[in-house]
Structure 1
């Protein structure tokens, strides 16, 4: 290559680098904004789900508290029935004998 062609390529190379930077900025910036917006929407969805889970957890804790009150209530005879079963001897012998087939 002659020095004249090299000197002629320098302005072309400079202009093409400038155009490339402008096009990259025109394409890359909107893409970054789109990704940022997607992340914001994902964060909002995650926050909504966390709030729903917290509400469900609170509701379930309330239900468990009610069940605990029912089971531990003195008027509830479940504890007495369990104790009665513990003191009753188990009849481990079968009530009827199986016939042996020969």
Structure 2
């Protein structure tokens, strides 16, 4: 009778074990993919070692980020001017243009 019980429980135990290991692997993959630190057996965070190449890459990405932010600021300014031109009354825009054409006294 013990052998019958073991034969009935063994597949369930195997499925539970495989599911547990698969879940652990998936969780670890998600942590690595999203930049979270891994943990050692005591629950302390284990950060990957950073080499010179990684630090150089971080510097380059930071510089590119700063350039893109500056460019985005200028694009926003230009867009604000275009929005003002489009939404202003036509008479007011024409009077401003004529005021610019007149010589300064």
With normalisation by structure 1, the TM-score equals: 0.37
With normalisation by structure 2, the TM-score equals: 0.36
Work out which of the two has the higher radius of gyration on C-alpha atoms and give 1 or 2: 1
